[in-house]
Amino acid sequence: MKTTISDVSSYIGQEVTIGAWISNKRSSGKIAFMQLRDGTGFIQGVVVKAEVDEATFQTAKSATQETSLYVTGVIKEDERSPFGYEMSVTGIEIIHEAVDYPITPKEHGTEFLMDHRHLWLRSKRQHAVMKIRNEIIRATYEFFNKEGFVKVDPPILTGSAPEGTTELFHTKYFDEDAYLSQSGQLYMEAAAIALGKVFSFGPTFRAEKSKTRRHLIEFWMIEPEMAFYEFEDNLVVQEQYVSYIVQSVLENCKLELHTLGRDTSVLEKITAPFPRISYDDAIKLLHEKGFNDIEWGDDFGAPHETAIAESFDKPVFITHYPTSLKPFYMQPAPDRDDVVLCADLIAPEGYGEIIGGSQRAHDYEFLKQRLEEHELDLEAYKWYLDLRKYGSVPHSGFGLGLERTVAWISGVEHVRETIPFPRLLNRLYP
């Protein structure tokens, strides 16, 4: 019977065959332990000299790391392994022998591993992170479908810039200038007016010369947008969504979280509602914590965000930032025009901002004036202004950065391990 590692629990006491690779191995004169992986999981194969023919034992002893093979054996429960099962090997058929696999069980430097990302992905740790990423994506679709959102795909090639013009990837679009999308938001606003509640999930690009553990040049964003939702309604969607994905990972990725050594007790506390703190109060809090240099009107850096987050054991919304720090499209607060109806959601444990969101300005004249203040080309935004011309309504939305969220939930230090092939400053290979 041919099966996969993920399905072995259905075959306890039975002999099965699995197509696999050897991820690691150790042996003595009498026994060989093969760590096998098949993509669906990892299992230990035990080859006992006295129980197999001589050729099989010799094959097990000499097989090299990442050699592919069909391995046949009997599935047994094994309480010592976190996976819970192992295989008593009865036969081995080598498919392809791997010679001098570069990533050995010893420690390698980050640059070396990044140069071999196409192979590094096979490791147990990277496998766990990719499975958690996949679970977050699965739970995202489940959550928004359950809540009645429609998935809408905004374009990647665009003529407008929602998040400021300094970080755009420029390209030619035949005779016109075009940019790779830095956010689908403006298009999602049009979609929300057409379809009510919508979300997008796609790649976004920032030509940011940042080299930090939180920055990628190409990253994936989930961008919901809702007609008739005001500032506070928007926060409720965000805290419910983030709680939902954390609880889904806790439920469905127990083994992966164990592989990564993630402290799950901190994740168990992540349930809605989340605390909120205004920008004004966040500045006061920072002063109390000894950050004397920061003044009202300054943007928060990573150390500030981390210090604010430390006061809470859940993600925290920092709300009502100064208008001058945020993009042109945000709705001003009703009682004062120096702050906007926005919130950044800051993850605990130093992972920083995972969501940026706001209520959108819906008054035509006001928005036009904001575009002019930001020296943006009105022609390129004519269609966006149209949304405020024909049945304009209050509406809100947000963008969640997938990789920062995967990093936080997985407990992985750097976003480069949270996307299959990271695009970083100075890295386009592999």
Site residues for ligand 4AD per CB under 6 A: 162-163, 183, 185, 206, 208, 215-216, 219, 221, 223, 353-357, 397-399, 401, 403-404, 415
Residue 201 three-state SS: strand
Cis peptide before 273 (omega within 30 of 0): yes
DSSP secondary structure of 401-430: EHHHHHHHHHT-S-GGGSSSS--BTTB---
| E runs forming strands in 212-363 | 218-227, 276-278, 316-319, 342-347, 352-360
Residue 17 three-state SS: strand
401 binds, among Mg ion, ligand 4AD, none (CB under 5 to 8 A by kind): ligand 4AD
Nearer CB in complex with ligand 4AD: 143/219? 219
Nearer CB in complex with ligand 4AD: 87/222? 222
Shortest distance (Å) from residue 62 CB to ligand 4AD? 45
Nearer CB in complex with Mg ion: 356/411? 356
Nearer CB in complex with Mg ion: 32/406? 406
66 binds, among ligand 4AD, Mg ion, none (CB under 5 to 8 A by kind): none
Q: What are phi and psi of 227, to 5 degrees?
A: -75, 145
Q: How far apart are CA 361 and CA 375, in angstroms?
A: 17
Asked if residues 299 and 288 have their Cβ atoms less than 8 Å apart, the reply is no
Nearer CB in complex with ligand 4AD: 161/283? 161
Shortest distance (Å) from residue 215 CB to Mg ion? 12
Asked if residues 416 and 424 have their Cβ atoms less than 8 Å apart, the reply is yes
State which residue has the least CB distance to Mg ion: 356
Examine residue 397 and tell whether it contacts Mg ion (CB under 5 A).
no
Non-local (6+) Cβ contacts of 360 within 8 A are 189, 329, 330, 331, 395, 396, 397
Q: What are phi and psi of 106, to 5 degrees?
A: -70, 170
Q: Which part of the chain contacts Mg ion (CB under 5 A), choosing from 77-85, 195-203, 204-212, 349-357?
A: 349-357
Q: Which part of the chain contacts Mg ion (CB under 5 A), choosing from 36-44, 180-188, 354-362, 390-398?
A: 354-362
Largest Cα–Cα separation, the chain? 85
If you count them, how many residues does the chain have?
430
Shortest distance (Å) from residue 342 CB to ligand 4AD? 9
Shortest distance (Å) from residue 249 CB to Mg ion? 23
Examine residue 356 and tell whether it contacts Mg ion (CB under 5 A).
yes
Nearer CB in complex with Mg ion: 193/283? 283
Nearer CB in complex with ligand 4AD: 25/395? 395
Shortest distance (Å) from residue 156 CB to ligand 4AD? 14
- Residue numbers of the site for Mg ion (CB under 5 A)? 356
